[in-house]
Amino acid sequence: MAKTSTGRSKTGRTAPESPAAPAVTASQKTTAKKAKAATPAKKAATPGAVAATGEKAAPVKASAKAPVKAAVKAKTPAPSKPAPAKTAKKTAAPKVAAKTVAVKKAAPRRTATRVAVPTPAARRGRPTPAVRKVPAKKLTGGGPQVFTVSHLNEADFKADGLRPYARYRDLGIAAATAGLCQAHVIRMVPPCTEEVRKRHVHQTELQLVYVLKGWMKNEFEGHGEQMMSAGSCWLQPSGIKHTVLDYSPDCELLEIIVPADFKTEELA
């Protein structure tokens, strides 16, 4: 509202008076002028600007540098240091002691070795019998062999054999092998007499005897007396001296001789 000379408004109300500005003294004006003269320009002239204008910047008094620096520091906010990133706390895993597993290497395969078994002292003293090497001979009877079979018949036991004190059953092997081999069953006739006990030898290539029944007691040169019972079997080498000492009444033998025709010699 416009004030009237009387200080009242058109409405008739009196406006409140504004407070009077404080009076500036001469000393305060002088201080303000000095401060303006001491304050440097806000922007320092750059070398490029000096070169363009050709004018040199007025040297700034050392006393005026401090307020400028303080003002710049006040206006320029201090660069905020980046807050250190919050590192997630690593929870250290509990240390587990490593277990050392011992690996056993497979033992190398050993080749089987034969261990020599020591010979008992009792056997060491025994002389090893020499193997008698007999030169190969062509067996007697070169004819072809034929099939034959012989069944038990009591009438086949005859007293036409080598010994008068025995009965022989010819098995037909001599005829089937063309004289290569002879096989017969012998039944000894009791009693055993001095005639039976005569010492003798046979010239054969093979003579094998098997006891079928009873028993027979013999004596062989270099082997002494031998008791042969049912199931016993022996081989008489050619030319061995031997003697029939005794036999049981039911003595029955199986004898196989090669060749079928052989020689027997009685000794004094």
Domain ranges of the chain: 162-266
Q: Tell me how far apart the terminal alpha carbons of the chain are, to the nearest angstrom.
A: 194
Going by DSSP bridges, is the β-strand pair 215-220/224-229 parallel, antiparallel, or unpaired? Answer: antiparallel
Q: What's the whole-number mean pLDDT along residues 244-249? A: 96
pLDDT of residue 160: 86
Share of the chain above pLDDT 90, in %: 44
Q: According to CATH, what is the number of the domain 162-266? A: 2.60.120.10
How far apart CA 254 and CA 170 sit, in angstroms, is: 10
pLDDT exceeds cutoff 80 at 131: no
For residue 175, report the phi and psi dihedrals to the nearest 5 degrees: -70, -35
Q: What is the pTM of this model?
A: 0.49
How far apart CA 29 and CA 31 sit, in angstroms, is: 5
Nearest to 189 by CA among 220, 225, 158: 158
Give 32's pLDDT tier (boundaries 50, 70, 90): low
How far apart CA 149 and CA 183 sit, in angstroms, is: 12
Got the DSSP string for 173-194?
HHHHTTTS-EEEEEEEPSS--T
pLDDT of residue 3: 44
pLDDT of residue 259: 96
Let me know how many helices (H) and strands (E) the chain has, helices first: 5, 11
What is the per-residue pLDDT across 92-126, written as a single tens digit (0 to 9) for each? 556 656 666 666 666 667 666 666 666 555 555 55
| Least reliable range by pLDDT among 24-28, 183-187, 201-205 | 24-28
Q: What's the whole-number mean pLDDT along residues 16-28? A: 53
pLDDT of residue 143: 82
CB 257 within 8 A of CB 207: yes
Strands (E), the chain: 157-158, 166-170, 182-188, 200-203, 206-213, 215-220, 224-229, 233-235, 242-247, 252-258, 263-266
pLDDT exceeds cutoff 90 at 216: yes
Run of H or E residues at 169: strand 166-170
Cross-strand partners of 229: 215
Report whether the peptide linkage leading into residue 259 is cis, meaning its omega lies within 30 degrees of zero: yes
| Least reliable range by pLDDT among 19-33, 103-117, 188-202 | 19-33
Any idea what DSSP says for residue 156? G
Taking the alpha carbons of 142, 144, 149, 154 in that order, is the dihedral positive or negative?
negative
User: In 10 A of CB 247, how many CB atoms?
Assistant: 24
